[in-house]
Amino acid sequence: YERTFMMVKPDGVQRQLTGEIIKRMETKGYVLVGLKMVTPDEKLVSQHYDDLKARPFYKGLVKYMSSSGPVVAMVFQGKGVVDYGRVMIGVTDPLKSAPGTIRGDLSVDVGRNTIHGSDGTSPAQDEIALWFKPEEVA
Ligand code: ATP
Ligand code: MG
């Protein structure tokens, strides 16, 4: 089955939304096969958001993600989990995300949008390999 990488961002951890997010994914039918709390350094966050290097918010994004406390890194498995996981998350801006989505229900700020999800099966594989050792994933 398909796998995706998801991450509760520092704001989500601080606001104690990790359980709510896992519950939504599990209730839908997706299986948690990897889970850890980590405080990523700038190098790891830079690699993760490598494709956004040219964007004006990139520096602030890397700073935020690497200096605001831990994140919760997760791998979920199941049918269509990459694309449908993104549907469940909502769009980048929480104020443009529909009610019923994670960002639509739980966030208001694009820079504090609570969760990350891989945006394709190829990025998903890369991100799982970046954040998890093979033996850390079931
Ligand atoms: P993510 O990759 O974190 O799941 P995404 O795929 O919806 O989010 P990206 O375009 O990959 O959006 O941007 C990565 C992150 O950078 C966003 O989640 C958001 O936190 C931040 N970001 C994106 N656009 C802006 C912006 N205009 N201003 C501030 N931060 C932004
Ligand atoms: Mg993205």
Distance 63 CA to ligand 2 centre (A): 16
Query: Residue 19 is encoded by which pair of tokens?
Result: 């359980």
pLDDT of residue 21: 98
Radius of gyration of the chain (CA): 14
Ligand 1: which residue has its CA nearest to atom 9? 92
Is this structure's pTM higher than 0.80? yes
CB of 61 closer than 6 angstroms to any ligand 1 atom: yes
Which parts of the chain fold into alpha helices (H)? 10-14, 18-28, 42-48, 58-66, 81-89, 102-106, 121-131
Q: How far apart are CA 4 and CA 74, in angstroms?
A: 8
Active site residue 116: yes
How do the pLDDT tens digits run along the chain, 138 residues long? 899 999 999 999 999 999 999 999 999 999 999 999 999 999 999 999 999 999 999 999 999 999 999 999 999 999 999 999 999 999 999 999 999 999 999 999 999 999 999 999 999 999 999 999 999 999
Q: How far apart are CA 5 and CA 128, in angstroms?
A: 6
Residues near 38 by beta carbon (within 8 Å), at least 6 away in sequence: 70, 71, 73, 131
Residues near 45 by beta carbon (within 8 Å), at least 6 away in sequence: 61, 62, 65, 66
CB of 3 closer than 6 angstroms to any ligand 1 atom: no
Pocket test for ligand 1, best of 47, 92, 131 (most atoms within 8 A of CB): 92
Residue 92 CB neighbour total at 10 angstroms = 10
Distance 128 CA to ligand 2 centre (A): 14
